[in-house]
């Protein structure tokens, strides 16, 4: 252990005298060995010894005879020190190339005084010969350094400057080579370096987990690679945004295969209806985190029908899940209704259910809300309120649940109850939607009147915009042409909020005092300020905010109750120019919406602050922004396609449920906080044996319809053309040469003389030979018969359209085709020779071929038929591309 020299000048001078070191200057890095102090001068501390303040070095082993001091010369080369028993320390470690074998104990000597800044200058030789009894403070030269010292004396100044320049250049190059400033240099270093060098590079740029995965996976085959959860989340996030970007990153960094990510995503159960697995995971949260707001809204989706090959059914029709049929099953879905839970005390937000609907009715929506609250109660989740926008269907829904909003403020009933819930649940209309409705009402009517018959006019906001355009400056507000022409962007929340904001009110107030044109705008200023105050109260995000944006707590709730009641009474006093109260007119929604939101928010705050140990309430938690951001995630999943269909929405939802590390930077709202991690573990989905289900298909009816089905020659030629494509797909899969021979056509082969097989093949292959350019495959007659039977069964199901919505329809067709053809002795006779190449316990190759042919053909047929159904539903060609190109041509 070494100790610093004392800071006190007197004690420092005393220590220097005791050390007896000539021409030594104490610096910050100077240390003195603890061997020079008595044990009584230390104080024991946990894990170490501390030197007393009055301690002084007293133990030294100086030589008894004085040493003659030699000529002072600059030290060159390596120095050897004495190892005599009379010495106590040596001051530098000698080079091994000059050590005498008898001096091996020099390396074990300790250091008395070291100074990293002055050690080379402070060690000066007395003599060039080794002396056993020399002073421990006097280093000695070896004789082999004499010639080097003499050569250096005669170096010219120019040569010395060149040497110094070379040294500096070498140092510069060495430092440049040790730097990696770009990702390109980083990757090239990783590829060309050893494992040890890779470790040093990656540790500075990536986490330890990433480094361990990279090193481990680089030493094994791709099929043996394993990844940590952190890498899996990183991979799924990149793949969510862009599979192409993921492929590019994967070319440089070892990441999971895209097929693995798709497998992880498919393992998530996200069928329509309530997501019981999500509710189960939320139920594991602490009780204080289970106070939630239920948010619901609908998102428009593309009207398309698609075949879901994983669930073996058509998707795109109205679907309420759990085998519940509320609307006609033949009506295509135009919207997806989503229920989402947002925590009032924590940051998590998770969807708990979704349904594909076609303009949902209020009676159905009220039942779904009741079911959602009931399900949450089963899992111990406490739903405090329900939030949605002010659409007519939503107002009718809550009226059916027991709310009564068409009343004055004191008589409004904004809460309801369900049979199994003891507590009241409040309806809180979305504040952002109400601001848009207030802006729309003022912009449409042009003017209101307050209780004193003063005019509240839109033209003052328009004049403000024109004045700012003339002078070229803005009066600290956001008003622009987009705010004035609000009908072009009626859904943009920020345009409405910025139009009816305090900054606009301040600008109008200043102009009313300085300009004649704005003299009578006091009523407009008051209206704008009231809307701004109510919105700030309903949109508090920060617990440390000031003014109306501050969180609700026990000290300010009384003030807010009085102030908000005054503001709402002011909104109730507004009239149209014709004298009708606004809250009774066609534009009443924003007045009643603000009133219900304020009353519900204050009631919830009183309950939570008093009975449930909440320190404060952030009213932003009651807004619809969380669901709007969720819709933004869904639309952002597909790049340029911001209007997903039912199947795309379902797959995107699985991706978000798997991980929730995606942040939206833009949208119709502003993100309060980043999303939490995934509720579910990333794991593989393993194939399960298909369970036999009780199907409703009458096979005897199918056989009868099949026998009566007429397939004309055109249909037969088309089916044979498709058969060739099926054969082309199966040849790479089949490993048995007899199986490949069984599915391909050999014109010279005829099994019986009485059956003119060549004529039959010619009649059904005319279209194929017309299209033949040398690359088309010719299918055998057995393949054609299999596809012919499959097509006839498929058409039989088309007659009874309800069979389209039966799950596992394709599997049922495959089972029937297999049972019908597997026992035929004339089908695939070449497979009789496959016993030599097949396993005794494996399925017969004949059945495998029939299943492969049927599955491949149905995959083509079902997807093609979904496009036919989509065209029949739309009845017109989609205008999406035309409208998109129109927007581009107008440079918008």
Which of 90-99, 266-275, 343-352, 661-670 is predicted with the least confidence, judged by mean pLDDT? 90-99
Q: Which residue has the higher pLDDT, 494 or 79?
A: 494
Whether residue 125 is contained in a domain is answered as yes
Instruction: Please say if the pLDDT value at position 701 is more than 60.
Output: no
274 Rama sector, left if φ>0, alpha if ψ -120 to 50, beta otherwise: beta
- One domain, residues 722 and 814: yes
Say what the pLDDT of residue 371 is.
Answer: 92
Quick: pLDDT tens for 99-115.
Answer: 344 334 433 443 344 44
Q: What is the pTM of this model?
A: 0.69
Whether residue 268 is contained in a domain is answered as no
Q: Which residue has the higher pLDDT, 695 or 776?
A: 776
Instruction: Please say if the pLDDT value at position 618 is more than 60.
Output: yes
Q: Which residue has the higher pLDDT, 678 or 84?
A: 678
Q: Which residue has the higher pLDDT, 92 or 626?
A: 626
d(CA 835, CA 832): 7
Strand-pair partners of 415: 426
- Of 346, 243, 226, 332, nearest in space to 652 by CA: 243
Q: Which residue has the higher pLDDT, 637 or 355?
A: 355
Whether residue 609 is contained in a domain is answered as no
Say what the pLDDT of residue 805 is.
Answer: 67
- One domain, residues 437 and 414: no
Say what the pLDDT of residue 73 is.
Answer: 52
- The enclosing H or E element of 84 equals none
- Of 488, 461, 286, 317, nearest in space to 382 by CA: 286
Instruction: Please say if the pLDDT value at position 178 is more than 50.
Output: yes
Instruction: With cut-offs at 50, 70 and 90, classify the pLDDT of residue 891.
Output: confident
Tell which of 136, 152, 168 closes a domain: 152
- The enclosing H or E element of 342 equals strand 335-343
- One domain, residues 459 and 425: no
Query: What percentage of the chain carries pLDDT values higher than 90?
Result: 32
For residues 719 and 791, the answer to whether their CB atoms sit within 8 Å is yes
- One domain, residues 115 and 241: no
Tell which of 608, 643, 658 closes a domain: 658
Say what the pLDDT of residue 867 is.
Answer: 84
- One domain, residues 219 and 291: no
Token reading at 357 = 């609907």
Tell which of 658, 684, 714 closes a domain: 658
**Residue 203: which domain range?**
183-245
Instruction: Please say if the pLDDT value at position 567 is more than 70.
Output: yes
490-521 as b/e: b if 16+ CB within 10 A: eeebbbbbbbbbbbbbbbbbebbeeeeebeeb
Q: What is the mean pLDDT of residues 686-713?
A: 48
Which of 499-513, 595-609, 747-761 is predicted with the least confidence, judged by mean pLDDT? 747-761
Q: Quote the distance between the C-alpha of residue 105 and its chain's center.
A: 63
Contacts of 789 (CB under 8 A, 6+ apart): 706, 817, 820, 821
Which of 39-53, 285-299, 809-823 is predicted with the least confidence, judged by mean pLDDT? 39-53
Say what the pLDDT of residue 599 is.
Answer: 96
Instruction: Please say if the pLDDT value at position 647 is more than 70.
Output: yes
Which of 135-139, 206-210, 237-241, 856-860 is predicted with the least confidence, judged by mean pLDDT? 135-139
- One domain, residues 642 and 753: no
Whether residue 678 is contained in a domain is answered as no
Which of 258-272, 413-427, 627-641, 875-889 is predicted with the least confidence, judged by mean pLDDT? 875-889
- One domain, residues 424 and 523: no
Quick: pLDDT tens for 595-612.
Answer: 999 999 999 999 999 999
Whether residue 673 is contained in a domain is answered as no
Quick: pLDDT tens for 409-431.
Answer: 999 999 999 876 678 899 999 99
Q: How many domains does the chain have?
A: 5
Which of 40-49, 253-262, 751-760 is predicted with the least confidence, judged by mean pLDDT? 751-760
226 Rama sector, left if φ>0, alpha if ψ -120 to 50, beta otherwise: beta
Say what the pLDDT of residue 82 is.
Answer: 41
Say what the pLDDT of residue 460 is.
Answer: 95
- One domain, residues 98 and 112: yes
Instruction: With cut-offs at 50, 70 and 90, classify the pLDDT of residue 523.
Output: very high
Q: What is the mean pLDDT of residues 485-513?
A: 93
Instruction: Please say if the pLDDT value at position 137 is more than 50.
Output: no
Instruction: With cut-offs at 50, 70 and 90, classify the pLDDT of residue 93.
Output: very low
Whether residue 762 is contained in a domain is answered as yes
Q: How many helices (H) and strands (E) are present in the chain, helices listed first?
A: 32, 16
Q: What is the mean pLDDT of residues 729-739?
A: 85
Instruction: Please say if the pLDDT value at position 555 is more than 60.
Output: yes
For residues 435 and 531, the answer to whether their CB atoms sit within 8 Å is yes
- One domain, residues 862 and 734: yes
Say what the pLDDT of residue 270 is.
Answer: 86
Q: Which residue has the higher pLDDT, 207 or 354?
A: 354
d(CA 204, CA 318): 53
Which of 292-296, 562-566, 838-842 is predicted with the least confidence, judged by mean pLDDT? 838-842
Whether residue 692 is contained in a domain is answered as no
- One domain, residues 776 and 840: yes
Cβ neighbour number for residue 806 with a 10 Å cutoff? 17
For residues 623 and 558, the answer to whether their CB atoms sit within 8 Å is no
Contacts of 767 (CB under 8 A, 6+ apart): 717, 718, 720, 721
Instruction: Please say if the pLDDT value at position 153 is more than 90.
Output: no
- One domain, residues 383 and 514: no
- One domain, residues 29 and 62: yes
Whether residue 56 is contained in a domain is answered as yes
Say what the pLDDT of residue 671 is.
Answer: 41
């Amino acid at each position: 252990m070494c100790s610093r020299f004392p800071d006190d000048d007197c004690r420092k001078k005393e220590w220097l005298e005791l050390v007896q070191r000539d021409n030594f200057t104490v610096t910050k890095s100077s240390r003195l060995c603890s061997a020079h102090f008595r044990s009584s001068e230390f104080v024991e501390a946990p894990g170490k010894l501390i030197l007393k303040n009055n301690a002084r070095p007293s133990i030294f082993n100086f030589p008894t005879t004085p040493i003659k001091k030699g000529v002072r010369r600059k030290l060159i080369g390596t120095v050897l020190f004495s190892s005599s028993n009379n010495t106590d320390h040596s001051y530098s470690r000698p080079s091994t190339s000059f050590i005498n074998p008898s001096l091996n104990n020099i390396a074990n000597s300790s250091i008395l005084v070291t100074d990293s800044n002055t050690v080379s200058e402070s060690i000066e030789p007395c003599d060039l010969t080794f002396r056993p009894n020399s002073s421990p403070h006097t280093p000695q030269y070896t004789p082999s350094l004499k010639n080097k010292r003499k050569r250096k004396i005669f170096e010219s100044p120019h040569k010395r400057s060149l040497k110094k320049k070379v040294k500096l250049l070498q140092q510069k190059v060495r430092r440049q080579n040790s730097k990696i400033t770009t990702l390109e240099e980083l990757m090239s270093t990783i590829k060309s370096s050893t494992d040890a060098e890779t470790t040093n590079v990656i540790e500075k740029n990536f986490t330890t987990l990433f480094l361990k995965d990279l090193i481990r996976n680089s030493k094994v085959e791709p099929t043996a690679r394993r990844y940590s959860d952190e890498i899996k989340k990183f991979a799924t996030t990149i793949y969510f945004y862009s599979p192409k970007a993921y492929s590019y990153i994967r070319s440089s960094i070892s990441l999971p295969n895209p097929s693995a990510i798709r497998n992880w995503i498919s393992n998530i159960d996200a069928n329509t209806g309530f997501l019981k697995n999500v509710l189960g995971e939320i139920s594991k949260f602490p009780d204080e985190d289970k106070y939630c707001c239920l948010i619901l809204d609908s998102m428009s989706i593309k009207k398309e029908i698609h075949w879901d090959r994983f669930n073996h059914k058509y998707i795109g029709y109205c679907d309420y899940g759990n085998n519940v049929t509320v609307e006609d099953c033949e009506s295509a879905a135009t919207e997806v209704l989503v229920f989402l839970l947002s925590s009032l005390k924590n940051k998590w937000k998770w969807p708990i259910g979704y349904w594909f609907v076609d303009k949902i009715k209020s009676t159905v929506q009220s039942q779904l809300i009741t079911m959602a609250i009931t399900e949450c109660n089963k899992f111990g989740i406490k739903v405090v309120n329900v939030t949605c926008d002010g659409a007519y269907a939503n107002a009718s829904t809550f009226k059916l649940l027991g709310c009564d909003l068409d009343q004055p403020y004191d008589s409004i009933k904004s809460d309801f109850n369900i049979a199994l819930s003891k507590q009241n649940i409040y309806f809180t209309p979305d504040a952002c939607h109400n601001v848009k409705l207030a802006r729309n009402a003022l912009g449409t009517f042009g003017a209101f009147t307050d209780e004193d018959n003063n005019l509240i006019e839109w033209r003052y906001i328009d004049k403000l915009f024109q004045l700012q355009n003339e002078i070229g400056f803005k009066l600290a507000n956001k008003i622009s042409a987009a705010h004035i022409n609000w009908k072009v962007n009626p859904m943009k929340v920020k345009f409405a909020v910025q139009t009816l904001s305090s900054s606009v009110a301040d600008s109008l107030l200043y102009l009313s005092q300085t300009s004649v044109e704005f003299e009578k705008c006091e009523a407009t200023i008051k209206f704008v300020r009231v809307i701004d105050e109510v919105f700030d109260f309903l949109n508090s995000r920060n617990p440390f905010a000031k003014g109306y944006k501050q969180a609700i707590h026990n000290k300010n709730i009384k003030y807010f109750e009085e102030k908000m009641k005054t503001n709402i009474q002011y909104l109730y006093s507004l009239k149209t120019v014709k004298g009708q109260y606004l809250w009774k007119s066609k534009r009443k929604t924003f007045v009643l919406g603000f009133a219900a939101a304020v009353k519900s928010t204050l009631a919830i705050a009183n309950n939570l602050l008093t009975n449930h140990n909440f320190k404060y309430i952030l009213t932003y938690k009651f807004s619809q922004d969380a669901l709007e951001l969720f819709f933004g995630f869904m639309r952002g999943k597909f790049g340029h396609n911001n209007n997903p269909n039912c199947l795309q929405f379902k797959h995107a939802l699985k991706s978000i449920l798997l991980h929730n590390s995606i942040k939206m930077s833009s949208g119709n709202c502003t993100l309060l906080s980043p999303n939490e991690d995934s509720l579910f573990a990333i794991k593989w989905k393993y194939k399960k044996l298909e369970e036999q289900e009780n199907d409703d298909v009458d096979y005897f009816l199918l056989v009868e319809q099949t026998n009566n089905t007429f397939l004309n020659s055109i249909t037969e030629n088309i089916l044979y053309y498709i058969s060739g494509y099926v054969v082309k797909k199966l040849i790479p899969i089949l490993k048995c040469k007899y199986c490949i021979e069984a599915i391909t056509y050999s014109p010279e082969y005829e099994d019986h003389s009485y059956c003119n097989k060549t004529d039959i093949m010619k009649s059904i292959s005319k279209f194929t030979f017309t299209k033949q350019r040398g690359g088309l495959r010719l299918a055998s007659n057995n393949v054609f018969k299999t596809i012919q039977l499959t097509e006839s069964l498929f058409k039989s199901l088309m007659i009874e359209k309800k069979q389209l919505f039966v799950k596992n329809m394709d599997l049922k067709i495959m089972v029937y085709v297999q049972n019908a053809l597997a026992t035929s002795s004339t089908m695939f006779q070449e497979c009789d020779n496959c016993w030599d190449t097949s396993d005794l316990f494996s399925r017969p190759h004949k059945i495998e071929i029939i299943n492969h042919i049927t599955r491949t053909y149905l995959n083509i047929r079902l997807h093609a038929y979904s496009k036919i159904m989509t065209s029949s539903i739309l009845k017109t060609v989609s205008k999406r591309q035309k409208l998109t190109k129109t927007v581009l041509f107008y440079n918008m």
